[in-house]
Amino acid sequence: MSAPQPIHLHDYQPPAYRVTHTELKFDLAPSATRVTARLHIERHPDRAEGSLPLVLNGEQLTLLRVAIDGQELGDGEYVVDEATLTVPEVPERFLLDTEVEIDPASNTALEGLYLSNGMYCTQCEPEGFRRITYYPDRPDVMATFSTTVIGEAGTSPVLLSNGNPVERGELPNGKHFVTWEDPHPKPSYLFALVAGDLQKVEERYTTQSGRDVTLQIWVEEENLDKTEHAMASLKRAMAWDEQTYGREYDLDLFMIVAVNDFNMGAMENKGLNIFNSAAVLTHPQTATDAAFQRVEGIVAHEYFHNWSGNRVTCRDWFQLSLKEGFTVLRDQTFSADTNSAPVKRIEDVSFFRTAQFAEDAGPTAHPVRPDHYIEISNFYTLTIYEKGAEVVRMLRNLLGWETFRKGSDLYFERFDGQAVTIEDFVDCMREVSGLDLDQFMRWYSQAGTPEIDAYGEYDYAKAEYHLTLRQRTPATPGQPEKQPLHIPVRMGLVGTKSGTDLAMTLDGEPLGSDAVIHLREEEQHFVFTDIAEAPVPSLLRGFSAPVKLRFPYSREDLAYLLQHDSDGFNRWDAGQRLAMLALDDLIAAHRNGVEKVMDVRVTEAFRTLLTSEIADKAVLAEMLTLPSEAYIAEQQPTVDVDAIHAARTFVKQSLALALRDEFLATYRANQTDAPYAPEPEQIAQRSLKNVALSYLMSIEDEEAVTLAQEQYEAGHNMTDVRAALTLLTHSSRDDLANPALRTFAEKWAHDPLVMDQWFTIQVTRPQEDVLDRLKFLMDHPAFSLKNPNKVRALIGAFAGQNRANFHRPDGEGYRLLADVVIELNRLNPEIAARIITPLTRWKRFDESRQTLMKAELERIRAEALSPNVYEVVEKALAE
């Protein structure tokens, strides 16, 4: 087999032919579905030269018939290979008819048309449509679609596709059909079809211009009671997009379908969003607060794509962040507006700094707009999504909301119905603001996390504060040299006497007490004048740019900011920095075999947090949460897995011992009898209470063990049940945990989403026997390698969240993951290429672990690999 070849951005050419209208007919059968297509094709006006062959994408299709303008083509008139159908001679404008057979039942890759729990569904983004029929499967070919779905009335009473149903009827042999018409031209990746035995909940929404929209959520019958939150979230998202971006919905029907087997979170198919059931179903008894919030965010994300993605789409897949980065920013802002804005920002940034920073520092690092790829499915990454959102957020902050909104209006108006590029988007922002964004564009082309070293000095005599910022972006694969970026640094100077933000004057210009300074050079000096008292700088407020910022803060400075910073985000960050300093000492102590001593300044800072009246309990819970092992690892040149685990455990236990009464009081003060609601106030109380309990359980305080047990047995809601069961399972009290795990599994055997949680709770436990437990659970009847949620819940959670055990010195954790990757490479390449991630980061570890991890990667490389896994493994093993 020849190695898959990369595709380059600079090779982009408009399509030779476009499709103006697509007529599809599906005759569904599990192993032999017939797909009949009639494509209305014309030569692209920009590609008029000579006669060009028609080349259509198509994979794993059995071609039965091909005709042009009604004339069936003979053997010599077309060529079919593994990936294409080519017709060398075609007219300027014609009808192409094809008929193919496909096999949904054996489709374990979950791309194209497949079966999930007996239900037909599709996933076409990015290149799944070519597994359904022969087509120019690229986003810059946009057509209206008319789709007829024929199915068995008994097993598939519900037949759905994009747009509006226009005709339905009975057919012989117990079959029936529905015809759908989607009037909005769309690329093939937004096509969707669902057929099965589904039930719906239905509500109505009237848009600001008075369009009456029917909203439907389609689920399996037993899940009808789990749709309320998604429906409410959808309505909130629709109203929010009208008010905030002036965007309203454009069809009479909007449908969401929940499916159990799905590679990602959800998919924004026009008028027919398909969701991983984990991203749509909630119930107080089965879903945690975090799950409720995730559902709200994903429902909004997919809905927002209707404009940022569907009405205006991507010219090619290099522009993926055009729709994903912007849409993530939109969903983040929506969630911030709906819940607690500072907590949302803290959650997003803390995830970003752990996971995206790690990606940027690893072998698969790539820019927000990559310039080449082998397998585009590998590029649905934290960089494209989350870093892309940070880049658009910086644009929004540079322009200010009102100007940014004008730019957004211009973008949607100018490019409605088109497939465009990231330049097109940024040009709109340039046009409405008059800003020079040339240097800013480097954020799209340069990979890696910029690092800023900051130094500050207060000049008492002159009443000046001098700040120096120096930026550097480390080399990433294929990009050895980096250019300086335009980095907006939002900041304040917190007076050490007044405890408030001081008014800042820079180069004679008053900036106010909270302002953005612009770092454009490699090194820049900023002199703030008329600063009457010595300040502590509060830098990068709200995480104003996706960078690492170092500043030589003393612990006293950080304790001070933790209390006095006016920016809630930076108050939290000061606490994280303070904890990191203590953790660094303890990591060193662990390495040197020196006795560990807890830094009392950290203890006292936590005591102050626990005893002072902090209004936002959710922020307080975040402040009390120590940096994760994964985050700590990102701060180290070589990751010392064991020292990190030991140091973090020591800090947690020391705090629990010193502040036992405070934690206990916090736990008690945050009980509530109110019926469960996924509302900010209640969520905050639960998270604060459960953080307190987790400290107490780290020392297995007798009272805490009883409280955890009671909380588990009370069974008020899944948030509290899961927290308690996790703490018991992760403690040494197997005598309590095992019976609880058993009853839990009996109670929830019928609910796959709850069983996912049961798997995760067990494989994230710190005990050394966890690998045996994991292997045992892989044989559990509720587990299946064919279901991506199960793979994530068991294998993904172990490799990603149980660092000390995954990185066992004997390499057994690595071996297990590699075995899974090899199997998944055959079953589901998209998931295989994702689950492998922890192994690809081998260069970050000590030599002995490096050797073991590399050996597993080489074992994988020896297999017959899918392009997905091939690309990742080659990058991981490249010198």
Count CB neighbours of 687 within 10 A: 23
The answer to whether 712 contacts ligand TRP (rule: CB under 6 A) is: no
Number of other residues whose CB lies within 10 A of the CB of residue 145? 24
Q: Which of 223, 332, 377, 576 binds ligand TRP (CB under 6 A)?
A: 377
Residue 824's φ and ψ, nearest 5 degrees, are -70, -25
In order, the DSSP letters of 466-516 are: EEEEEEE---BTTB-S-PPP-EEEEEEEEETTT-SBPPEEETTEEEESSEE
Alpha-carbon distance of 578 to 559, in angstroms, equals 7
Cβ proximity to ligand TRP, 286 vs 335, nearer residue: 335
| Spatial separation of the C-alpha atoms in residues 381 and 534, rounded to whole Å | 43
How far from the centroid of its chain's Cα atoms is residue 385's Cα? 7
Range list of H helices, 565-679: 568-591, 600-611, 617-623, 629-634, 641-658, 660-669
Shortest distance, position 359 Cβ to ligand TRP, whole Å: 16
> Catalytic residue among 296, 302, 359, 375, which?
302
Size of the site for ligand TRP (CB under 6 A): 14
Containing 549, the helix (H) or strand (E) segment is strand 548-550
Q: Which window, 263-271, 282-290, 620-628, 641-649, contacts ligand TRP (CB under 6 A)? A: 263-271
Site string for ligand TRP, 97-136 (x = CB under 6 A): --------------------------x-xx----------
Tokens of 8: 């380059």
DSSP 426-457: HHHHHHHH----TTTTHHHH--S--EEEEEEE
Residues 316-345 that bind ligand TRP (CB under 6 A): 324
**Does the footprint of ligand TRP cover residue 179 (CB under 6 A)?**
no
CB of 250 to Zn ion, least distance (A): 18
Q: Return the residue of 103, 268, 751, 756 that touches ligand TRP, per CB under 6 A.
A: 268
Please tell me whether residue 620 binds ligand TRP under the rule CB under 6 A: no
Options 263, 356, 476, 570; binder of ligand TRP; rule CB under 6 A: 263
Residue 380 near which of Zn ion, ligand TRP, none (CB within 5-8 Å, type-dependent): ligand TRP
Assess 190 for contact with ligand TRP (CB under 6 A): no
634 binds ligand TRP (CB under 6 A): no
Question: Which two three-digit tokens encode residue 838?
Answer: 């922890």
Which among 129-137, 260-268, 601-609, 637-645 is the span making contact with ligand TRP, rule CB under 6 A?
260-268
Residue 56 interacting partner from ligand TRP, Zn ion, none (CB closer than 5 to 8 Å by kind): none
Nearest to 294 by CA among 230, 387, 370, 378: 230
User: Which option in ligand TRP, Zn ion, none does residue 856 bind, with CB closer than 5 to 8 A by kind?
Assistant: none
Residue with smaller CB distance to ligand TRP, 267 or 454: 267
Question: CA separation (Å) from 273 to 194, 217, 378?
Answer: 10, 9, 22
Q: How far apart are CA 271 and CA 250, in angstroms?
A: 9
Per CB under 6 A, the list member of 248, 302, 701, 751 interacting with ligand TRP is: 302
Grouping H, G, I as helix, E, B as strand and the rest as coil, residue 317 is: helix
Determine if 821 is a binding residue for ligand TRP (CB under 6 A): no
**Residue 768: other Cβ atoms inside 10 A:** 10
Are the beta carbons of 6 and 374 closer than 8 angstroms? yes
**Chain center to CA of 714:** 33
Choose which of 134, 275, 292, 380 interacts with ligand TRP (CB under 6 A). Answer: 380
CB of 543 to Zn ion, least distance (A): 21
Q: Name the residue nearer to Zn ion (CB basis): 125 or 856.
A: 125
Site for Zn ion in 300-359 (CB under 5 A): 324, 327
User: 399, 295 in Cβ contact below 8 A?
Assistant: no
Inter-residue contact 446 to 483 (CB < 8 Å): yes
Choose from ligand TRP, Zn ion, none: what does 123 bind? Cβ within 5-8 Å by kind: ligand TRP
Give the binding range for ligand TRP (CB under 6 A) out of 259-267, 493-501, 761-769, 809-817.
259-267
Stretch that binds ligand TRP, among 152-160, 261-269, 660-668, 805-813 (CB under 6 A): 261-269
Question: Catalytic: 302?
Answer: yes
Break the chain down into helix, strand, coil percent, rounded to 5: 45, 20, 35
304 binds ligand TRP (CB under 6 A): no
* Cis geometry, peptide bond prior to residue 477 (ω within 30 degrees of 0): no
Near ligand TRP by CB under 6 A, which window of 97-105, 162-170, 262-270, 676-684? 262-270
Q: Does 866 bind ligand TRP (CB under 6 A)?
A: no
Annotated active-site positions, please? Answer: 302
Binding site for ligand TRP (CB under 6 A): 123, 125-126, 263-264, 266-268, 301-302, 324, 377, 380, 830
Binding site for Zn ion (CB under 5 A): 324, 327
